[in-house]
Amino acid sequence: MNLQHWRYEIDAHKIAWATFDKVDSSVNTLDYATLKELANIIDTAEYSPEVVGLVIQSGKKSGFIAGADITQFQHCKNPEEGLKLVLYGQEVFACLEKMEKPSLALIEGACMGGGFELALACRYRIACDSESTLMGLPEIKLGIHPGWGGSIRLPRLIGAFQALPLILSGKGLSAYQAGVLHVVDYVLPKRECENAARDIILKGLALASFPHRLISSLYRMSNMTGVRMLIANFIRKQIAKKTVMQHYPALEALISQWQKHGVSEDAYANEAASLVSLFPTETSQNLIRLFFLQTRMKSGAKASILINHVHVIGAGTMGGDIAAWCALNGIKVTLQDRGESYIAPAILRAKILFEKKLKLKHLVMAANDRLIPDVKGDGMRHADVIIEAIYENLVAKQEILKQMEQHAKPSAIFATNTSSIMLDAMNTALSDPSRLVGIHFFNPVAMMQLVEVVCGEKTSDAVIAQAMTFVKQIKRLPLKVKSRPGFLVNRILMPYLMESVKLVEEGVPMERIDQAAVQFGMPMGPIELADTVGLDICLSVAKELTEHFGGEIPKALLDKVDQKQLGKKTAKGFYTYHRGKKQTQRIDCVVSICIEDIADRLIYRMLNESARCLSEGIVEDADMLDAGMVFGTGFAPFRGGPMQYIKTVGIEQIRARFKALQEQYGKRFETDDHFINAIS
Which residues carry out catalysis? 440
Type of residue found at 192: E
Q: In b/e form, how buried is each residue of 193-221, taking b as 16+ CB within 10 angstroms?
A: bbebbbebbeeeeeeeeeeeeeeeeebee
Q: How far is CA 53 from CA 17, 50, 297, in A?
A: 9, 10, 42
The whole-angstrom separation of Cα 330 and Cα 338 is 26
The answer to whether the beta carbons of residues 293 and 479 sit under 8 Å apart is: no
Q: Identify the H or E element spanning 372.
A: strand 371-373
Q: How far is CA 274 from CA 86, 154, 170, 268, 417, in A?
A: 11, 17, 17, 10, 45
The answer to whether the beta carbons of residues 330 and 400 sit under 8 Å apart is: no
Show Cβ contacts of residue 470 under 8 Å, excluding neighbours closer than 6 positions. Answer: 307, 385, 413, 439
Q: In b/e form, how buried is each residue of 586-620, taking b as 16+ CB within 10 angstroms?
A: eeeeeeebeeebbbbbbbbbbbbbbbbbbbeebbe
Across the chain, which distance is largest between two alpha carbons, in Å? Answer: 82
Type of residue found at 316: G
The whole-angstrom separation of Cα 168 and Cα 249 is 11
> End-to-end alpha-carbon separation of the chain, Å?
53
Within 10 angstroms of residue 525's Cβ, the number of other Cβ atoms is 23
- Using alpha carbons, select from 254, 297, 276, 274 the residue that is nearest to residue 468: 297
- Using alpha carbons, select from 480, 474, 447, 479 the residue that is nearest to residue 461: 480
Type of residue found at 513: I
Strands 103-107 and 124-128: parallel
The whole-angstrom separation of Cα 637 and Cα 620 is 20
The whole-angstrom separation of Cα 367 and Cα 119 is 30
- Using alpha carbons, select from 240, 235, 242, 285 the residue that is nearest to residue 256: 235
CA 45-50-51 angle, to 5 degrees, is 35
Q: How far is CA 209 from CA 197, 506, 670, in A?
A: 21, 65, 70
Type of residue found at 330: G
The whole-angstrom separation of Cα 182 and Cα 201 is 18
User: What length does the chain have?
Assistant: 680
The whole-angstrom separation of Cα 564 and Cα 643 is 37
The answer to whether the beta carbons of residues 11 and 49 sit under 8 Å apart is: no
Show Cβ contacts of residue 46 under 8 Å, excluding neighbours closer than 6 positions. Answer: 95, 99, 100, 101
DSSP 8-state code for residue 140: G
The whole-angstrom separation of Cα 91 and Cα 39 is 9
Q: Identify the H or E element spanning 610.
A: helix 595-615
444: preceding bond cis by omega (within 30 degrees): yes
- Using alpha carbons, select from 466, 443, 439, 441 the residue that is nearest to residue 453: 439
